[in-house]
Structure 1
Amino acid sequence: MIKKAENIIVGISIGDLNGIGSEVVLKTFEDSRMLELCTPVVFANVKILSFIKRNLESAVVLHGIDKLDQLVHGKINVLNVWKEGVDLNLGVNDDKVGEYAIKSFVAATKALKEGLVDVLVTAPINKYNIQSEDFKFPGHTDYLDQELEGDALMFMVQDNLRVGLLTDHVPINEVASRLTEDLIVKKIETVRRSLIRDFSIGNPKIAVLGLNPHCGDGGVIGKEDEELIKPVLKKIFDKGTMVFGPFAADGFFGSGHYEKFDAVIATYHDQGLVPFKTLSFGKGVNFTAGLSKVRTSPDHGTAYDIAGKGIADFNSFKEAVYLAVDVYRSRIQYEEMTEKPLKVREK
């Protein structure tokens, strides 16, 4: 049975309390129709969120709970992950606030693993103030990759535009050395499986961008495209995966060529995210493909410069909630279809 939409429980980690995370969460659920889509559970503290709500003059009603079995469908539930007060200085990088961002995230991830929430949507964190002896990860994705089954892949999504990465948060001078046949094969397979299971695309077409300008111009400005990427893509294609490339990155998006494919895989972070964020108009979502559970996040950061001013655009966070619910339901449908394949009527 497909789970009813309003009963899909969306766990939300609050992110950096000095940033715009709380604002975009509250603004998203000011629209009461969102509570018909899902049941949100914010992992934070109801007193802190109530303070931020008053500061933003938000009309939302928060329902504080101390255990997840106390949640109420049709309400904005706030699970009290901590009891003590937190001193906020909106717009300021604060290591202490970073600790609470991780408390929220770790608790939400634990609930996701245990099946107490169905999906996870993460508000933005500051990658610098979250570091500690207990948490030594560059960000959300690396921790989720450790805690959940699978191989995490950053997959940026906005409607039919989907951009994955062979390497993500890697210094540019290390990208070429990180590219291997095994990595390329694994990432393409992760994208292919995600397109089928998470987006209900039967036989997806995938484009891969080249590493060097003009894909190396036959080796004149780099040999990786000709000697590594192209042969690997041919092997994968010959085994039945509809993968094409490498394509020169400079004109690929501007020409609209990306529209011919179900997903595009860039070789490094900015090669994929610069055109994605240019085309997505503030509605892009960061989806972590390849994991056993569903996690999404908005495609922006903490935005300290506008924190507390009530002017943050919440559309990316709202789209992250929509996508999390859509992917969750798509996975249920996929599992039901694969477990109970349709019978072919005999002639």
Structure 2
Amino acid sequence: MNSQHKPVIGISCGDINGIGLEIIIKSFADSRILEHCTPVVFGSNKVLNFYKKAFPELHLNYQHIKEFERINPKQLNIFNCWEEDIQVTPGQLTDDGGKYAVLSLQAAVQALKDGHIDGLVTAPIHKKNTYNDNFKFTGHTPFLKASFNADDVVMMLYAEQFRVALVTEHVPVAEVAKHITQKSIVKKLLLLNESLKTDFLINTPRIAVLGLNPHAGDEGLIGTEEETIIKPAIKEAKNKGILAVGPYSADAFFARGHHHQFDAVLAMYHDQGLIPFKSLAAGDGVNYTVGLPVIRTSPDHGVAFDIAGKGVADAASFTNAIFECIDLIKRRNEYGEQRRNPIKRLNPEMFARMEDEKIEE
């Protein structure tokens, strides 16, 4: 994608009985978003119409297509992944909800692989009705990791400059400790550090590392993982040129606002990082999969069956995920341009003047 190209953003519809289609409709009802991207929703125009009827006041300019050659950059494009009529039951956990969520996701990922879209935004799915013999994944992240043969990935949520990444993701609390190894922490730090440079254009990222135990183990009195695993991992990461600091006691770290002093925080497990993040980010967070050769974002919430079909879902996080997908694509391209043009990387102002002089000539 060149710098003048408006990116084509693919969107998976998520569970058809969740809030995915509602927040898609609400996001794209503001046509100004079409100035920044060309959206392609992978799903069914019939299902979209079901939800659209609940919002007669919203004007949604869209067309349904079966070939990528028919994508219209001035409209929301619905790529029909299935033709059959299916029952939509908002708020209900059904087999069809999972089946068609997976069909949408698989079609979107294939389009990403084939270069038909430039980035992917995923609406929420439910693990209960998607995990089966044909889709043995506990969520989007492991599926994307396998789809793109990534050695490892990192789940990161962020809102502006507040970024929280995880060593373990959807792992039972009783099993977290056995997944915390020096190797896994170092791998996550390497990927996170590279992403902060490549995707966020931070030259020398500062990364805080949280401890596993209360009070970061109190020097071995409340657990030994900090002394035997986390500190050696931080030391190894520093030897690899990463500015990692810690381990910090998670409760005091966030309560005292220390996260503002770092470009990212690496938490040991899901709730340790995401409870403070979701509390402090106030619904504006975006989920980003670090470590993929492609860009994928999503909102920082789930299917929300309790409010599905009631018309009250907040689309803010999903809208942010769309714009962040666009910005991540641009920043990654800019980083690649800087790598190809060392003068631009070392002295961007001088490079800009040189480019202006060429134009004047």
> Using the alignment, how far apart are the partners of 2:296 and 2:217 within structure 1?
36
Amino acid in structure 2 at the alignment position of 1:216:
G
Partners of 1:306 and 1:56 in 2: CA distance:
15
Hey, what's the Cα distance between the residues in 2 that align with 1:339 and 1:177?
A: 42
What residue is the counterpart of 1:259 in the other structure? 260
For the 8 Å contact 2:183–2:233, the answer to whether it is kept is no
Q: d(CA) in 2 for partners of 1:50 and 1:61?
A: 12
**8 Å CA contact retained: 2:44, 2:80:** yes
- After superposition, give the CA deviation of every residue in 1:227-283 in whole Å (9 maximum; x if it has no partner): 211122122213321100000111111111110000000000000000000011111
Following superposition of structure 1 onto structure 2, how do residues 43-58 of structure 1 map, counting pairs within 5 Å? 43-57=42-56, 58=58
Query: Residue 30 of structure 2 corresponds to which residue in structure 1?
Result: 31
| Separation in 2, partners of 1:48, 1:215 | 49
Other structure's SS at 1:279 match: helix
- Secondary structure of the 2:141 match is helix
* Aligned mates of 2:158, 2:315 — CA distance in 1: 16
Counterpart position of 1:109:
109
After alignment, is 131-140 or 335-344 more displaced? Answer: 335-344
Give 3-state SS (helix, strand or coil) of 2:202's partner. coil
SS in 1 for 2:219: helix
1:152-200 CA-to-partner distances (Å, cap 9, x unmatched) read 2101010000000011111111111111111111000010000000001
- How far has the Cα of 1:4 moved from its partner? 3.3
Answering whether residue 4 of structure 2 is matched by residue 8 of structure 1, we say no
Q: Which amino acid aligns with 2:317?
A: S
CA contact (8 A) 1:23 1:56 kept: no
The residue type equivalent to 2:66 in the other structure is: D
1:132 matched to which residue of 2? 132
Structure 2 equivalent of residue 160 of structure 1: 161
Tell me the distance in 2 between the aligned counterparts of 1:324 and 1:25.
Answer: 15
On the 8 A contact 2:182/2:232 being kept in 1, the answer is no
How many aligned positions are there? 344
Contact 2:119 2:296 in 1 (8 A): yes
The separation in 2 between residues aligned to 1:107 and 1:336, in whole angstroms, is 30
Tell me if structure 2 keeps the 8 A contact 1:154–1:164: yes
CA–CA distance in structure 2, aligned partners of residues 44 and 2 of structure 1: 28
Opposite residue 235 of structure 2, the aligned amino acid is: K
Q: In 2, distance between residues paired with 1:162 and 1:322? A: 16
- Is 1:230 matched with 2:231? yes
Does residue 1:40 correspond to 2:23, yes or no? no
> What is the aligned partner in structure 1 of residue 95 from structure 2?
95
Shift of 1:309: 1.2
Deviation at 1:149, TM superposition (A): 4.1
CA distance in 1 between counterparts of 2:91 and 2:274 reads 25
Please tell me whether the aligned partners of residues 50 and 62 of structure 1 are also in contact (alpha carbons under 8 angstroms). Answer: no
- Is there any run of 5+ residues in structure 1 with no aligned partner, and where? none
Aligned alpha-carbon RMSD (Å): 1.4
| Pairs within 5 Å for 1:1-347 | 2-4=2-4, 7-57=6-56, 58-150=58-150, 151-342=152-343
Contact 2:98 2:129 survives alignment (8 Å): yes
Q: Which amino acid aligns with 1:136?
A: K
Q: Deviations for 1:38-86, whole angstroms, at most 9, x for unmatched residues?
A: 1110001112212210123232122110111110001000001111111
- Letter matched to residue 209 of structure 2: V
Task: Return the alpha-carbon distance in structure 2 between the equivalents of residues 10 and 124 of structure 1.
Answer: 16
Corresponding residue SS for 2:317? helix
Query: SS of the counterpart of 1:73?
Result: coil
Matched-pair contact (CA < 8 Å) for 2:190–2:237:
no
Q: Which runs of 5+ in 2 are unaligned?
A: 348-361
Aligned residues with identical type, % of pairs: 47
* Partners of 1:230 and 1:170 in 2: CA distance: 22
Secondary structure, counterpart of 2:306 in structure 1: helix
Aligned equivalents of 1:126, 1:56: Cα separation in 2? 25
Contact 1:2–1:329 (CA under 8 A) maintained in structure 2: no
